[in-house]
Structure 1
Amino acid sequence: MSKPVMTVCITGAAGQIGYALLPHLCSGKTFGPDQPVKLHLLDLNIEGVQTALNGVKMELEDATYPLLKGVVCTGDAKVAFTGADAVIMLGAFPRKDGMERKDLLEKNCGIFKEQGELLNTVASKTVKVLVVGNPANTNCLIAAECAPNIPRENFSALTRLDHNRAIAQLAIKASVPVEQVQNSIIWGNHSSTQYPDINAATINGKKAKEVVNNDEWYKNEFIPCIQKRGAAIIAARKLSSALSAAQAISDHMHDWFLGTPAGQFVSMAVDSTGNKYGVADGLIYSFPVSCSNGKWTIKEGLEIDDFSKEKMKATEQELTDEKKTAMEILGK
């Protein structure tokens, strides 16, 4: 028997990341080659935006994807979220010149409070929600806070792009194919405080730190490179990452729904409550996780040295400060 059609909602769908993501979702690359999908594409209810969104729908029709069983374009979040099995939240209020981080959080609190409340009432109760729009971790926390009917573990924020960037830089440094690099870790926030950690990473089965054997490169080049990679791409392209972001979103959802390979873990920003690494409860914090049967589990038992503890605590503090600001705005 064929699988039931999965309803996948994308917010901010008319943007460049949405455009780059759609082939992954419709080809079977993300959810599996036998999983039919129906797309709910949400973006601003503005004539020019909706016209562009309908142009995307026309292209999807012309692409004749066998797994694509329908496309709904809308400016109404209630329509978009109704019956959704997976929601990929690309849309967020962008940071503009002169804006303080608190101003950005205030704008996004309103958006993600409203969307969280709608998810709570009209989405599937087993919906899995991935927040990509920045500040992604705290936007995810706000949506989860406002959707008490949906399990907290069904909300996550994207740090897979940072994870993939770390793998790529290790592969380049060691002059090996990317598939030989496994188990890099992104701890904390999807921001410049994140901690890209290679202590558990392997290159062709050997410890990455021993293969690279260059602590100065690791601390002074690798870590800042991953932390600032997004800004470097914007400086080069005059646009934010789209192709690589779409790949990371697809990787994240694929592993969450279909599972990670045995012995491997990936980075996901998830509910920190009950973790074994001393991170405060109640944050959306990036950890190494493995996935099976649609659920993620934080990898336990990794050795954390003093350098790592300091980096992990710094990004935790940023997330704690963001949460405090967000809860004040929400009146909680």
Structure 2
Amino acid sequence: MKVLVIQQKMIGDVLTSSILCEAIKKKYPSAELHYLVNSHTVPVVENNPFIDELVLFSSEMEQSKLQFYRFLKEIRKAKYDVVIDVYGKISSNLMSYFSKAPKRISYHKKHTAFLYTQTLERLKKPEHDCSLAIENRLKLLEFLEIPFQEITSKIYLTQAEIASAEAYVTTSNIDFKKPLFMVSVLGSSEAKTYPLDYMASLLDSLVAENKEAQFLFNYIPKQEKEAREVYEHCLPITQKRIFFSVFGKSLREFLAITSHCDAMIGNEGGAINMAKALNIPTFTIFSPSLKMQNWFGEKENKNHKAVHLSEFIPYQEEDFVAAKKKPSKYYLKFTPSYIVQPLHDFIANLSL
């Protein structure tokens, strides 16, 4: 059996959907499994033992109709038996249909259902206390007679990558005997970023509780201005605990550095998902516009903690809609005073 799993775009989505590859390989060890992803997301699925081949979709293919058509012809030429379209957008709709695979699986949408042989209505509530992101993905495998099973995404670093990161961190005067936290200071957009001064206040509270705490910031060079703003909002005593210039020059370097941290704290997004895949405890601040159950399940409570504004003030369905239109208004309500105690409880449970 030759299987193609399609998950384009965001790093967090690509990482999460990789659980399908593991589930399929465990049920059908002899299956040839290909994973179609955007080129820039490769680092999070590199060395994954459940993926036989990565099929890469580039920005050039996305922008050129001719290149995209050639890509579709290559997919058809591959002669897949099964195509699982997790992405479910126009490009992946066409990839699935053009594959002519006998079994084409995706989520149900009225205007695209005819392109697939089997479609699935998304769950609105979790059935197994996992996040909807995980449960809806695994439910697609019911068409392959694979029942639900608890699988979490994993990132596979090499020993050389881990050792190199350890050497880099050590030579940066960071003490592994003291608590080390990676901070996701920025979300994927302004609408998913906790106010910078509020984030600084949270870091100040952690240092007040534990003066040996050390912090690394997760940011890329073009985000340095915003990351530095968080640093500048911090108290001087906190600034001394932030190793601002220590960061991964590539995504794999960031992952290797994160693997040496005691926890990841900060904005919900790809960085949090990557930390989970490295088995690093996480404390996540969700955007007021997002529904927490989509990306956080009850079964994660042991090693992970997440907070959402709706836990602290009255919240209706219309508030999610309003928060998407005016995120800053709702973020301002989500003051550090709500988060400090849950954050301190999370750190206390790490047994550092």
What TM-score results when the alignment is normalised by the length of structure 1? 0.38
Normalised to the residue count of structure 2, the TM-score between the two structures is 0.36
Bigger Rg over Cα:
2
